[in-house]
Structure 1
């Protein structure tokens, strides 16, 4: 029978020449009449006549910008076993290879502007994973390929959706081929699920997702799953994001609508009419009506920042290490620290009373139990600070550490970064507040940070003193957090028993 959109939209793009070697990435088939493939432009870096400096100009690059005669191939799967999530074909012996020609390399100005605003140069952001040069100047460039072998009479453009109505926390499905054409029989059109972690730029030109992608998936697609068929909403731009030496565990996407807008005139010169991206009505999330994005606050102390969770209109909970400077200048509300745990306490907690109430605030509902393996989310200002508002990442509650039968530490697989500390951990199932983020993991032996292994303070530890304080107004209600047992101390030292310092 006739194959669906999802089965035919993903591919691998290979570019090679005898003098410049072979490079590859993922791509998406955007039209069958005429057949057009879109991919990340950086794969063409080794083939530019003027070298990487060509990426610095604001105008599109035509085929004459390439050195003579690179061979461009588009690889697609044959008809075979369907992957249910997207309807994609699994390999069933051999790949379809089609010769392609470059129409143009096009810069996306809206994405470039959003990059500049969201990722400040002083913070040493790097976006890795593209083997063909890793030049940051190529990040906002995309390649349009004409593939006559994919022409299908009577078919037009693939199903698309605008990114302008995306919501943080909304589900995404990423599809790309890890390692490009290295071993497509194994890796072609690999799927990864995640959520919209953050958004920036005009009509959400820049999207961050916690869907886990690998080098070679650049140029692949990000889809909005839907019962009536998935729709392409963005293109994978960088599989890895680094802030200084810290891998943040997020994937960078560019809105498809922004690419199409930037490409319309150059494609028009080639006789290709770009239809408008259909509008989209944002779905209304089901649940209690509580919005976890409304619980989280940016906590600034001097030049540093962290996150905090609002528990009441004037009560904020965060981490001690976030407020160590002792003052809290904030964007809209000032507060004073009324309690911090001692340095010797394993519970890294600070309590802040705001000078003014947050209007129309609906407090979170605290959890009273924890279910290992359940889906959870973290909301906070990790990595990006105030640039784009709070980010959302999802994972599972990977472990509940108990001492004497009482939960004292929660572990999750959500991506957590510097600046996330103090933010809320939320159950995706119930919408309840499970705890606050205290730290991710750093291996001091090798200098690596692991964003997907992090630790949170259970709300069941914090709720009794919070309730006592709300009843009495006496900050001494929190003093008990300083009296943890040796077992609790050992758990938060990340070692089984006292001895040599843990390497974590």
Structure 2
């Protein structure tokens, strides 16, 4: 079995970075539009000196990337969750709610890109919305080739929507990959934002944005929410799910991808994180 340090070195060589706004390697989001009509009101920004993104899955519960939780908790007492399209917009007005705690996945490993990169933040008060994000419960491995929307706050702290196609070859039940040969899909500030798929006219949260590459060909990685349902339900029992049965755990998708890349290298001779 290849060690985590080797996997990490391979991913680093590919130019993969976490997507917090402070990243020196942030890249511009590809074709995207501002969410001015608030299609995704439950997607907000997590501010802690720098910022990432997060998804309201209950009135006082935010699902986000593990490295965003880690950063937010390091700014205890000053980190907040912001709703609204952005600080430079007034419709709908932005609200700020203090973050009072959080929890990382017990197997989260900050030394390995994307390794169980998921966590939950708890707010000091309810954020009242007509609807909170509904989570996609079916195995992510069935999403290969499907069109999806990625939503986050990026480098300008404004909620934007982009489109991408989910990769079929590397996506597993625990992780979702997207590839594009020339166009960046996410950027710094998008970490913890959401990858959404549509079912019956409803936008469902399928993945949490984790990291991206900094040069072409571009790669983006999302943690599959259905693959971490036990963790989510154990800490946010209010979460709503759409369809599917509980998935069977699989080996780390980052390791699977890393092994595939190592195999390719042998044969031949970390939109947006804060």
Q: CA deviation at 1:498?
A: 8.1
8 A Cα contact 1:400 1:410, kept in partner: no
Taking the TM superposition and a 5 Å limit, the aligned residue runs for 1:278-427 are 292-302=39-49, 304-325=50-71, 326=73, 327=75, 328-331=79-82, 332-341=96-105, 342-343=108-109, 346-367=115-136, 368-369=138-139, 370-385=142-157, 389-399=158-168, 401=170, 407-413=173-179, 415-427=185-197
Structure number, greater radius of gyration: 1
Tell whether 2:252 aligns with 1:468: no
Q: CA deviation at 1:397?
A: 1.2
> Quick check: 1:301–1:323 contact (8 Å CA) kept in 2?
no
Q: 1:401 to 1:300 in 2, by over 3 A?
A: same
Distance in 1, matches of 2:216 and 2:60, equals 34
On the 8 A contact 2:174/2:250 being kept in 1, the answer is: no
Question: Would the alpha carbon gap of residues 400 and 335 (structure 1) be closer, same or farther in structure 2, given more than 3 Å must change?
Answer: farther
| CA distance 1:453–1:313, shift in 2 (3 Å) | same
Stretch of structure 1 that moved more, 369-378 or 415-424: 369-378
Structure 1 residues 410, 485: CA separation in 2 closer, same or farther (over 3 Å shift)? closer
- Check the 8 A contact 1:401/1:408 in 2, yes or no: no
Deviations 1:105-156 (A, max 9, x none): xxxxxxxxxxxxxxxxxxxxxxxxxxxxxxxxxxxxxxxxxxxxxxxxxxxx
Structure 1: any 5+ residue segments left out of the alignment?
1-242, 254-283, 285-290, 443-447, 473-483
User: 2:98·2:124 contact (CA, 8 Å) conserved in 1?
Assistant: yes
Contact 1:440–1:449, Cα closer than 8 Å, also in 2? no
- Find the aligned partners of 2:173 and 2:193 in 1 and give their Cα distance: 19
The CA distance in 2 between the partners of 1:323 and 1:393, in whole Å, is 24
Q: Note if 1:433 corresponds to 2:179.
A: no
Deviations along 1:432-451, one digit per CA (max 9) or x if unpaired, are 21111111124xxxxx366x
Q: What is the CA RMSD across the aligned residues, in angstroms?
A: 3.4
Q: Describe the shift of the 1:470–1:486 C-alpha distance in structure 2 as closer, same or farther (beyond 3 A).
A: closer
The number of residues matched between the two structures is 198
- Whole-angstrom distance in 1 between the partners of 2:31 and 2:147: 20
* Equivalence for 2:225: 459
Q: How far apart are 1:317 and its partner, in Å?
A: 1.0
8 Å CA contact 2:207–2:225 kept in 1: the answer is yes
CA distance in 2, matches of 1:433, 1:364: 7
Structure with greater contact order relative to length (CA < 8 Å, sep ≥ 6): 2
